[in-house]
Amino acid sequence: PNRSMPADPHPTPGALLLGDAFNMRHPLTGGGMTVALSDIVLIRDLLRPLCDLHDSSTLCKYLESFYTLRKPVASTINTLAGALYKVFCASPDKARQEMRNACFDYLSLGG
């Protein structure tokens, strides 16, 4: 499965993977879109000082830190999605059933 294939940046001139295209997470939380939007903000901020986006060597230097800077948001979203999946997946565990019920109660309040 994809979850056993960790993301490994392979810089390719003219292409940049964002959100789920770079590393997947369980779709339960819709976190791929959150990570993609966060990635876009990072890219915008990293590229803002550049005058020429056609200068690929300078562009690559500016993007070197992207993969490190995205990790806090991406890993937090991945952890949340994985934890919620474990709560909501089928299990005879009574504690998990209580957590599911508590989550549904919370979500029914609009949370």
In order along its 111 residues, the chain shows pLDDT tens digits of 555 556 667 777 778 888 878 887 878 778 888 999 999 999 999 999 988 888 888 888 888 888 889 999 998 998 888 888 888 888 888 999 999 999 889 989 986
* Token output for 104: 């549904």
User: What gap in Å lies between CA 44 and CA 20, rounded to an integer?
Assistant: 18
Beta bridge partners of 15: 12
pLDDT of residue 3: 55
User: What gap in Å lies between CA 13 and CA 57, rounded to an integer?
Assistant: 9
Tell me the DSSP string of 16-39.
---GGGTS---GGG-HHHHHHHHH
Give alpha helix (H) positions in 1-111.
31-47, 56-63, 66-69, 71-88, 94-108
pLDDT of residue 111: 65
pLDDT of residue 59: 85
* Token output for 16: 């940049």
pLDDT of residue 21: 82
Structural domain boundaries of the chain?
A: 2-108
Q: Which residues contact 46 (CB under 8 A, 6 or more apart)?
A: 62, 63, 65, 66, 69
User: What gap in Å lies between CA 73 and CA 94, rounded to an integer?
Assistant: 32
* Token output for 11: 């810089």
pTM confidence score = 0.73
